[in-house]
Structure 1
Amino acid sequence: MVQPKGRTYLELMEKPITTAFHRRKLPHWSVLNHEYFVTFRLHGTIPAHVIATLREKRDKLKDAPQEEIIQNQRLEFLKIESILDTADNNRAFLSNPDIARLVLSKFDEMETKYRWRFPFIVIMPNHVHCLCCDSDNALVSLGKVLGEIKGSTAFQANRILGKEGKFWAAENFDHWCRSPLKVESVKRYIMNNPVKARLVSKPEDWPWRKPK
C-alpha cells in the first residue's frame, strides 16, 4: 500500500484514492493510506427485530450515492452502539479475562504478520473497537486482517467457554477517518467507551485496552 508519488498525506486526506468499495449487508469503503475506525461484536447481541428494521432501511438505500450510504451506516452504528453499551444479557463473553487477553494478543500478532498497526483498542464485554492504520508496506487488506482475527479467536474462545457455534457477528462496522481531527476523535471515543458504558469511572481503570 505504497503512497502514490507526489501525493502527501494531507492531499490523500482531501482527495482519497479508493482501492475498494463493496457491500455485504453493510458498505465497506477502502482507501489508500488512511486510518480506519472499526467495530465488531459478538453474535446474537442485537435483537432480531432491530436488525430487521436496520436492514429494511439499508435496502431502500441500496442504489443511493456512496456518501448517503455511508451516512446511514454512521447512524446505524450509533443505534447498535447504544444497544451494546446498555445490554444486560448472557453473551458478554469478552468479560472473560482469558478471552479478552486472547483478542488483544491476536491484534499484536497481526501487526507483526501483516504490518498493520492497531494503536488504540478496547475490548468491551460484547464488542471491540479499534483504530486500524495501514502502512506503506502493509501486506494484505483490512478485511483479510479482521477476518483472521475473528476466525482464530472464535475457535479459541469457544474452547475456553466449552461451547460451539457462532462467536462473532459476521460483519464489521468500518469507516476511514477523513481528517486528523477525526482520528483524534476516534482515539478519544475508543478510550472513553468503558466510561460511557458505566463500567469504570476513568478510562485507565479498564484493563482490556491498548495503550494501557
Structure 2
Amino acid sequence: MQGLFRRRNLPHLDREGGTYFVTLCLAGSLPASGTLAISRHWRKRALAPPPAGISADEWRRRCSAAAFVDYDRVLDSSSPVTWLADQRLAGIVRDSLLHGHGHRYQLLAYVIMWSHCHVVFSTTSNGVAGPADNDHARRRSAREAVMLSLKRYTAVSCNRVLGRRGPFWQAESYDRLVRTHAELERVVSYVERNPVKAGLCREPEDWEWSSARSRRP
C-alpha cells in the first residue's frame, strides 16, 4: 500500500497501520544558527549525484537520516531550553505516552531527554482523529492525531506546572516511517541509547525516563 506524503515545513510520510520514529522538540530548543548550518550542509549533499550503486531516493533518505543525527547532537549538547530536566514535566510526558499505549497506538520505545523526546509507535484505527485540519481540508492521519493529542495535553499540563503561557513544543515534529523489522531494531536501539551517548548514564536501563528502564532487573 502506498503511503501518503504530506508537507508543511517538514516532510511527513503516512501509511495506514504504520510504525513511526518521532522526535518532539521543545519550543526554542534548536539554536537557529546551528540548525541552519546543518540544513544547508545536508541539503547540498542530498542534491549532489548519489554514490555509485545507490538510487537517488535512497541517497536522499540517507542524507535526511544523517541530518537528523546532527540535529539530535545539537539537542543533546547545546539546547538553550531544557524544561524536561524537571522531573515533574518528564513524568507528565511519560505518563501521557503510557496512557495511550494499547488503545490509540502501540508504544514500542521512548526516551525523554532534557530538551526533546523520541517516540517509536505503531498506529491503530483508534488513532484517526476524524475532523479535518483547519489548515487543510482533509482528515488527519493516525500519526497526526496521536501527536496532536499528546502535544496538546502535555503542553497545557507542563505550562501549568511552569506557570507560563505560550508554545511548549516546536510546532512540527520530526518523523520517519519505519519500513522493516531490521530498521525498527536499529531505531529502538538508537532511542534507548540516547542518554548514554549524551553522557547522562552508563547503560540505557539506568535512565528513568526511558522504555529501557522497564527491562532493568
Q: Does the pair score TM above 0.5?
A: yes
State whether residues 100 and 123 of structure 1, in contact with CA within 8 Å, keep that contact through their aligned partners in structure 2.
yes
C-alpha deviation, 1:87, in angstroms: 1.9
User: Aligned AA for 1:104?
Assistant: R
Q: Retained in 2: the 8 A contact 1:122–1:191?
A: yes
Q: TM-score, normalised by structure 2?
A: 0.78
**Alignment correspondent of 1:9:** none
Q: Taking every aligned residue pair, what percent have the same amino acid on both sides?
A: 30
Equivalent position of 1:131 in the other structure: 120
Where 1:186 maps in the other structure, the secondary structure is: helix
Aligned residue number for residue 90 of structure 2? 100
Q: Does 1:87 find its partner at 2:71?
A: no
Question: In the TM superposition, what whole-angstrom CA distance separates every residue of 1:148-188 from its partner, at most 9, and x where no partner exists?
Answer: 11111111111111112111111111111221111111111
Please name the residue that 2:12 is paired with.
Answer: 28
Q: 1:47 maps to which residue?
A: 31
The DSSP-based 3-state class of the residue aligned with 1:18 is coil
* Letter aligned with residue 208 of structure 1: W
1:128-167 maps to which residues of 2 (within 5 A)? 128-135=117-124, 137-140=125-128, 141-167=142-168
CA-based RMSD: 2.4
Structure 1 match to 2:131: none
Aligned residues: 191
TM-superposed CA distance for 1:66, in Å, is 6.2
TM-score of the superposed pair, with normalisation by structure 1: 0.80
Change (3 A) 1:57 1:158: same
103-112 vs 173-182, which moves further: 103-112
The CA deviation at 1:210 is 1.7
> Are the counterparts in 1 of residues 4 and 13 from structure 2 also a CA contact under 8 Å?
yes
For residues 53 and 183 of structure 1, what CA distance do their matches in structure 2 show?
29
User: 3-state DSSP class of the match of 2:144?
Assistant: helix
The separation in 2 between residues aligned to 1:109 and 1:143, in whole angstroms, is 17
User: Offset at 1:59?
Assistant: 8.1
1:76 aligns with one of 67, 89, 106: 67
Larger relative contact order (Cα-Cα within 8 Å, sequence gap ≥ 6): 1
* Shift of residue 202, structure 1, vs aligned partner: 1.2
